[in-house]
């Protein structure tokens, strides 16, 4: 029997695979999608993006964190919460998202195949379902969107049920009294915050001397201060040397210190899911972390094979993965729709408090030798900030000194990942200080911070020029 032929075969149903399949199908291409897991959605729907953000909201609710400004009200359920309580809402959100993906692919008439996909040759995908004979389909174009999996350090005893990675943490059986988190990147910081908010004593170990090295340094330090206020203890720069198992874990650090913990979370990065895909045989060997190399159109070295999302490495965010897939399909089928991913991408870190940024940082501008001015506006001096009780949040705007064009925006505080988009829009339209001065913002809103941060920047620029003129 001849293999069924498609214009496009997509491997993986996460954000990148789903959007790539839907994009091609929307423009009339015949599309097949292969997923090895029983549920669609990849890590974003099942073990990563949505579950972790839902757990964060649950932790904020159960801890009463958002009621911190209401001094006459004490609201906290964290002393009564069980693991089942904590995970309940996450399960509902995941089920809803899985169904949305099924409905979207059905609406676009994408054929779904279940099983592990591998490349028999450059155009043939072999599908191996569990407990069934393999099948084959062929495609003019192949899109690899297989995602990633947590990296497992060799010195962590993952056979112990109290040791978790960023996927298995969703199978938490009970709320432990103490937890050691290895890794001060996005995943490590997010989980450290949400567990600390629930009253767990969290220790975070990070090999670098600061959290989230890609973030603006001022915001990185402000986040560390907020995390300390949540009770998180830091060991930086440091690393895990050895782990002794007992009633509690005795974790010996490279510095020689020993930390006791009832549970461990390894948040030490992720590796691309490329093992056993048959890529080496067609001239596409992945790198040491399982990632594939692509060009600006997301083509691999084999021109009709594209790769997008976590499997190509940084930034490995759901939002960027979707855009990469859309651009790849526009290029593959000459759809004349969008030629590239946006030149400036937002980063949203769902810690407590949230952090978000787009564009340049003070460090990148200094390195490039670009004169700039900074404007800041604090939540504590904003009416909406006072209403919600966020005393520590702030918006930071970076303007090119010469013409006051906006070049960077950084936010830390409640709703930071939403607030950043106003600045992102200004960045993408090459707008400057005048935009925020002219705008009338709703009152009371956090977005009004943009006007006052801009006034602050204009004042800083005037002072700078006065000093130069003296």
* pLDDT per residue as tens digits for the range 51-62: 677 777 777 776
% helix, strand, coil for the chain, step of 5: 35, 25, 40
Q: Can you give the pLDDT at residue 130?
A: 85
Q: Can you give the pLDDT at residue 75?
A: 44
How far apart (Å, rounded) are the C-alpha atoms in residues 324 and 327? 5
User: What number of residues does the chain have?
Assistant: 470
How far apart (Å, rounded) are the C-alpha atoms in residues 372 and 375? 10
Phi and psi (nearest 5°) for 332? -60, -40
Give the whole-number percent of the chain exceeding pLDDT 90: 73
Q: Can you give the pLDDT at residue 25?
A: 97
Phi and psi (nearest 5°) for 361? -115, 170
Q: How many CB atoms lie within 10 A of CB 168?
A: 15
Q: Can you give the pLDDT at residue 465?
A: 85
Can you name the residues that pair with 272 across neighbouring β-strands? Answer: 148
* Fold for the domain defined by 163-268: FAD/NAD(P)-binding domain (3.50.50)
To which residue do tokens 């549920």 refer?
39
| Longest CA pairwise span in the chain (Å) | 86
Q: Can you give the pLDDT at residue 62?
A: 67
Tokens of 434: 């005048």
Stretch (H or E) spanning 31: strand 31-35
How far apart (Å, rounded) are the C-alpha atoms in residues 375 and 365? 15
pLDDT, the chain, mean: 90
The pTM for the full model equals 0.85
Mean pLDDT of 159-169: 91
Instruction: Give residue 140's pLDDT band: very low, low, confident or very high (50, 70, 90).
Output: very high
Q: Can you give the pLDDT at residue 120?
A: 95
Phi and psi (nearest 5°) for 142? -115, 135
Phi and psi (nearest 5°) for 18? -60, -50
Q: Can you give the pLDDT at residue 283?
A: 94
Tokens of 460: 């800083």
314 CB-near residues (< 8 Å, 6+ apart): none
Q: Can you give the pLDDT at residue 55?
A: 75
CATH 3.30.390.30 correct for 353-465: yes
When comparing pLDDT for 66 and 272, which is higher?
272
18, 150 in Cβ contact below 8 A? no
Check whether 72 has a pLDDT greater than 50. Answer: no
Q: Which of the listed CATH numbers 3.60.21.10, 2.60.260.20, 3.30.379.10, 3.50.50.60 matches domain 4-149+271-333? A: 3.50.50.60
Phi-psi region of 199 (alpha: psi -120 to 50; beta: other; left: phi over 0): left
413, 423 in Cβ contact below 8 A? no
Answer whether 163-268 and 353-465 agree in fold: no
User: 440 exposed, middle or buried (CB, 10 Å; 0-12, 13-18, 19+)?
Assistant: exposed
In the chain, domain spans:
4-149+271-333, 163-268, 353-465
Separation of CA 18 from chain center: 18
Tokens of 299: 């083509």
- What is the DSSP code string of 280-348? GGGT----TTS-----TT-B-SSTTEEE-GGGG-TT--HHHHHHHHHHHHHHHHT--S--SS-SS--EE
């Amino acid at each position: 029997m001849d293999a069924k032929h498609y214009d496009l075969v997509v491997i993986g149903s996460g954000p990148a695979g789903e959007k790539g399949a839907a994009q091609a199908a929307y423009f009339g291409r015949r599309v097949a999608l292969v997923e090895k897991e029983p549920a669609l959605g990849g890590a974003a729907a099942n073990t990563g993006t949505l579950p972790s953000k839902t757990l964060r909201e649950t932790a904020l609710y159960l801890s009463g964190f958002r009621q911190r400004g209401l001094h006459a009200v004490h609201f906290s359920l964290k002393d009564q919460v069980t693991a089942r309580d904590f995970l309940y809402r996450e399960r509902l959100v995941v089920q809803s998202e899985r169904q949305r993906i099924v409905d979207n692919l059905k609406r676009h008439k994408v054929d779904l195949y279940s099983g592990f996909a591998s490349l028999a040759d450059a155009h043939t995908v072999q599908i191996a379902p569990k407990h069934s004979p393999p099948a084959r389909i062929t495609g003019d174009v192949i899109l690899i969107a297989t995602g990633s999996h947590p990296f497992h350090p060799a010195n962590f005893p993952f056979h112990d049920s109290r040791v978790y990675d960023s996927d298995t943490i969703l199978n938490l059986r009970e709320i432990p009294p103490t937890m050691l988190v290895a890794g001060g990147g996005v995943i490590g910081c997010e989980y450290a915050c949400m567990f600390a908010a629930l009253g767990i004593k969290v220790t975070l170990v990070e090999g670098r001397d600061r959290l989230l090295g890609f973030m603006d340094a001022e915001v990185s330090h402000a986040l560390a201060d907020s995390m300390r206020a949540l009770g998180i203890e830091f060991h930086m720069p440091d690393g895990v040397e050895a782990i002794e198992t007992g009633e509690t874990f005795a974790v010996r650090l490279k510095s020689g210190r020993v930390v006791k913990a009832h549970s461990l979370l390894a948040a030490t990065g992720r590796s691309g899911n490329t093992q056993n895909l048959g890529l080496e045989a067609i001239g596409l060997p992945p790198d040491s972390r399982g990632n594939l190399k692509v060009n600006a159109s997301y083509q691999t070295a084999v021109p009709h094979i594209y790769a997008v999302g976590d499997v190509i490495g940084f930034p490995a965010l759901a939002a960027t993965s979707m855009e990469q897939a859309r651009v790849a399909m526009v290029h593959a089928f000459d759809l004349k729709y969008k030629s590239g991913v946006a030149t400036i991408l937002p980063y949203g870190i769902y810690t407590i408090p949230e952090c978000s940024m787009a564009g340049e940082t003070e460090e990148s501008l200094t390195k490039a030798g670009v004169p700039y001015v900074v404007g800041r506006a604090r939540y504590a001096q904003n009416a909406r900030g006072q209403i919600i009780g966020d005393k520590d949040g702030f918006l930071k705007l970076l303007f090119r000194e010469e013409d006051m064009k906006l070049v960077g925006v950084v936010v830390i505080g409640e709703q930071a990942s939403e607030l950043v988009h106003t600045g992102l829009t200004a960045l993408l339209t090459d707008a400057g200080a005048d935009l925020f001065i002219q705008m009338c913002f709703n009152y009371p809103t956090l977005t009004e911070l943009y006007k006052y941060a801009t006034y602050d920047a204009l004042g800083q620029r005037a002072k700078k020029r006065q000093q130069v003129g003296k």
